[in-house]
């Protein structure tokens, strides 16, 4: 992991708990998010697995799991992952850097890297 990745990790570690609280259930409040994620889920239907890269506290992972998608999350921040596991223990989360993906080509059906959209 490079120095820039460590800086990013450190910044997210500092805000992890507040971020998790602020964005809990966010997709239920945002029609466009639901539309985008719903279309993604339809395209993935029946194929598996999906990886949520930069998953943060796991909100998008949880939303897609509830739509029937086999999903796991990956994030750079260990403390953010602690929040994800606390909030969504039924989903597998792991530490990792999206610049150095820990899986083989063609081993997944899709990737989601969904950011929090402020409206």
pLDDT exceeds cutoff 70 at 5: yes
Q: Which candidate, 32, 119, 108, places its Cα nearest to that of 72? A: 108
Domains of the chain: 3-112 (3.40.50.150)
CB atoms within 10 A of CB 99: 10
This prediction has a pTM of 0.86
Task: List the Cα angle 39/40/45 in 5-degree steps.
Answer: 100
Q: Is 101 exposed, middle or buried (0-12, 13-18, 19+ CB in 10 A)?
A: middle
**Residues 59-116 pLDDT 10s:** 999 999 999 999 999 999 999 999 999 999 999 999 999 888 888 878 899 999 987 5
């Amino acid at each position: 992991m490079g120095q820039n990745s460590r800086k990013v990790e450190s910044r997210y570690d500092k805000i992890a708990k507040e971020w998790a609280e602020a964005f809990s259930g966010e997709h239920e409040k945002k029609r466009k998010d639901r539309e985008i994620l719903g279309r993604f889920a339809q395209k993935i239907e029946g194929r598996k697995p999906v990886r949520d890269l930069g998953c943060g506290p796991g909100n998008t992972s949880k939303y897609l799991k509830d739509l029937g998608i086999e999903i796991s999350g990956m994030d750079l921040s260990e403390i953010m992952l602690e929040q994800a596991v606390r909030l969504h223990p039924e989903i597998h989360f792991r530490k990792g850097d999206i610049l150095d993906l820990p899986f083989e080509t063609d081993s997944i059906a899709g990737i989601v890297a969904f950011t929090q959209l402020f409206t």
